[in-house]
Chains A and B, each alone.
Chain A
């Protein structure tokens, strides 16, 4: 019986959150080790566990995987959330890359000086409203199905829900012009594994605050 996957990262969203979402949605229990000191990070590096000296690190199936997308892709395939054939997989990848780009902008904004940060976050909301959400609304409208790809729950749906909730934290009205996305949000949120992950006390992490930024800066010597 395989051990639980183990996640090494800071106690916050950053580049690990999409991985937490994917595992949780797949109903996979996982452990977490939180980096709080420079020494912990240096030890991981010295022990040769970080291929490029960086977290996220996920220990799974006897491998020490780093690089966010490598991890996400592995998990999506492992838990049957990556489409039934190559054409479905490429669509899932396209959609996931789009939402990942958007969410990375939010993660990176936390580390900017206040004025730049506000500007960056405003740009995220704008991009979501004008680029990303209209695209996904149209996809849902065109096929009329419950899920983005192949009438089946996939990694693309999980990413989109995560992105919707993240942008709503910045602007609660962001879905006002997107009725199908509103329904999508409700539908996906009610999937039992996801519903559980959305409850207080789960391993889902809160938005980055100044305390989180300070810890990361300290550990990574930024």
Chain B
């Protein structure tokens, strides 16, 4: 019987959070080993655990997996969240990549120099409202189904709903004109495994605050 997947990262969202969401939504229990000092990261590097000297690292099924997308795609396939065939998978990938593009912009916001932050936030709001949310709203409208692809929950829905929570954190009014996306968010949030993950006390991580940012900078040696 395989052990639980083990996630190695710092105690914050970063590039591991989408993996936490996906595992949680799939109903998979997982352990976390938090990197707390730069030396912890050094040790992972020197003992050969990190193929490209980077985290996230997920130990699963006897493997040490790195590269966020490789990990997500493995988990999605294993837990049947990746469509029924190649063509569905291509759509799921396309949607997931779009989510990741906007998600990265939001994720990197705390690293933005203070004098550029307002402009960056304005840019994020603009692209959210004019590029990304309309694209996903249109997909849902085009088929009228409950989920983005193949009338079935997939990683694309989970990643998108996670993103919608972050969009709301930036500005709650951004979702105002996207009724179908609001519907998807509610629907996915009410799935038992997701509902549980959204409760306080779960392994879901909070937004990055000053303290969390300083910790990340220290661990990853970012100036």
Question: What residues of chain A have their CB less than 8 Å away from a CB belonging to chain B?
Answer: 51-53, 61, 63, 65-71, 73-74, 77-78, 86-87, 89-90, 93-94, 97-98, 101, 131-132, 135
Contacts and interface: CB of A to CB of B under 8 A. Distances in A.
Contacts of B178: none
Contacts of A68: 97
Main secondary structure of the interface of A (DSSP, over half): helix
Given A73-B90, A87-B61, A90-B73, 16 more contacts: A52-B101, A65-B90, A67-B93, A69-B69, A69-B93, A71-B90, A73-B73, A74-B86, A74-B93, A86-B74, A89-B74, A90-B70, A93-B69, A93-B74, A94-B70, A97-B69
Main secondary structure of the interface of B (DSSP, over half): helix
B77 interface: yes
A94 B51 contact: yes
The 3 closest A-B pairs by CB, nearest first: A70-B93, A67-B97, A93-B70
A69 to B, nearest CB: 6
Contacts of B97: 67-70
B83 to A, nearest CB: 11
A78 B85 CA distance: 11
Nearest to A50: B135
Given A53-B131, A74-B86, A94-B65, A65 B52 contact: no
Nearest to B92: A70
A98 B66 CA distance: 9
Given A51-B135, A131-B52, A90 B63 contact: yes
Contact of A97 (B67, B78, B94): B67
7 contacts: A51-B135, A52-B132, A63-B91, A73-B73, A90-B63, A94-B51, A94-B70
A53 to B, nearest CB: 6
Contacts of B90: 63, 65, 70-71, 73-74
A131 B98 CA distance: 28
A131 B52 CA distance: 6
B101 A97 contact: no
A101 B74 CA distance: 19
A212 B215 CA distance: 41
B73 A93 contact: yes
Nearest to B73: A93
Nearest to B77: A86
